Structure 1
Amino acid sequence: MEESVVKQERAVRTRALVLRAGAEVIAARGYEGATIAEILAHAGVTKGAMYFHFPSKQALAEAVIEEQTSISAVPRTMSRLQDAIDLSQRVARSLQHDPLLQAGTRIAVETGFSEEPLVPYGHWTEMFRSLFTAAKEANELLPTVDPKETAEMFVASYLGVQLFSQAATNRADLPRRVEGLWRHLLPGIAVPGVLGWIRPQGTEERAEETFDDMHEDVASPT
């Protein structure tokens, strides 16, 4: 029994090691540029060990996408609109250093026009749709706002903003650009009374949270 537990723990560690190494190589080289040989060398494992968990580079990429979209909810505060902003800013800060998020973005962009795209857009759109729906129910959004349409527009705009930031400053200015995105969006969706206190730069009390914090189980936003 003890030997079985040790093997299981070793397998879990190996999978995490390969996943992390794959994300780091893909983040640096791109999905098409990353090779199995480079990922193996970076992880320091054998081909057999990798293929036990990920039978192909695509399977590894799918695991990266799943890992970086494994957030089921975000912390609830008095404002679901501010929660949406805070989430977007936390992701922006994590995109500056988290290889899983960086790799997920490169995979999504590079496979977006392929026959079998690997994209996390549906997950992110649903998350923001839920937040916008709750914000509308709390009378934070204008009656004319369609949460689903707004979520789709925001996620599409966010993708463009982060790609522009990547090209311009290697994402060094991404939080500022996300703040700018919200400043342009908020007047068109938020009720006038909200605009006076909402913070497009995010709230200071969440400024130190990392992407890992977002994987904790919390109450559902809806």
Structure 2
Amino acid sequence: MTPPALKTPSDVPRGPDPRQDRSARTRELVMRAAAEVFAEHGYRESSVKDVAERTGMTKGAVYHHFPTKEVLALALVEEHYARWPHVLDEVAAMGLSPLATALEVMDRVAAAFGDDPITIAGARLQNEQASIGVELPTPYVGWIGVMTKLFQEAEAAGELREGMVPEQLARLIVASFFGTQHVSATLTGRADLAERWQELRELFLYAIRR
């Protein structure tokens, strides 16, 4: 049996434009409640009714903002990715060295994966794309690009040990971090993520720093 084709984000009908919606705060409330529900139960085991109950709203009120469950899931994943440019800008404004910038960014990402419902839900929904039936952003490649640039700058600044290849380091830290957070989520519900990230951070820094 041929599986149904994935819908692209542009194919998916959306709710009202939040910029013109007088109840934008209600939309944000729905998003946060949905993030908590999806993070706890996953896409298949969650329903719009679950989200409505968590907000104390009716299903109709939720559907006003998000016509379907897949639209709501897509919005959460997009919000998940929309947060990272702000993190990068904030860290860039601190004036740190390239290597310190890379590590500070990852520190903040680790903190978000530890306690931010939208970050956690976005990651889980990304892994459950086959169940959602909507084309989601390709994971990891953006982070690899960001880390590659920072490690190239660190190399130029003389912060890396001889023989370190920025592109390889970028792939390694991204794969190691996201693998670490996945193991932490599976074994402890991310309760030990901060500790596991610090272990990885110290080992990584010891291995690459001049």
TM range (shorter): 0.7 to 0.9
1:183 aligned residue: 202
Aligned AA for 2:34? G
Looking at structure 2, the residues matched to 67 and 117 of structure 1 have their Cα atoms a distance apart, in angstroms, of: 12
Q: What amino acid maps onto 1:87 in structure 2? A: V
1:26-52 CA distances to partner (integer Å, 9 max, x unpaired)? 111112221121112223334443334
Distance 1:183 1:156, change over 3 A: same
Secondary structure at 2:115's aligned position in 1?
Answer: coil
2:118 paired with 1:100: yes
Match of 1:207 in 2: none
**TM-fit CA distance, 1:157:** 1.4
Aligned-residue offset at 1:106: 1.1
What amino acid does structure 2 have at the position aligned with 1:109? N
The answer as to 2:108 corresponding to 1:87 is: no
SS at match of 1:153: helix
Secondary structure, counterpart of 1:10 in structure 2: coil
Equivalent position amino acid for 1:14 in 2? T
Q: What is the CA-CA distance between 1:181 and the residue it aligns to?
A: 1.4
Cα distance in 2 for residues equivalent to 1:135 and 1:65: 31
Counterpart position of 1:134: 153
Task: Give TM-score, length-normalised by structure 1.
Answer: 0.70
Is residue 2:91 matched to residue 1:75?
yes
CA contact (8 A) 1:62 1:118 kept: no
Residue 46 to residue 123, structure 1, CA distance change in 2 (3 Å): farther
Unpaired segments of 5 or more residues in structure 2?
A: 1-18
Amino acid across the alignment from 1:88: M
Asked whether the 8 Å contact 1:65–1:119 carries over to 2, the reply is no
Q: Determine what percentage of the aligned residue pairs are the same residue.
A: 37
The root-mean-square deviation of aligned C-alpha atoms, in Å, is 2.7
Separation in structure 2 between the aligned mates of residue 126 and residue 62 of structure 1, nearest angstrom: 23
- Cα distance in 2 for residues equivalent to 1:17 and 1:28: 17
Stretches of structure 1 lacking an aligned partner (at least 5 in a row): 1-6, 192-222
Change (3 A) 1:49 1:134: farther
Equivalent residue in structure 2 for 1:42, among 32, 36, 54: 54
Q: 1:61 to 1:137 in 2, by over 3 A?
A: farther
Q: Output the TM-score relative to the length of structure 2.
A: 0.74
* 1:32 matched to 2:48: no
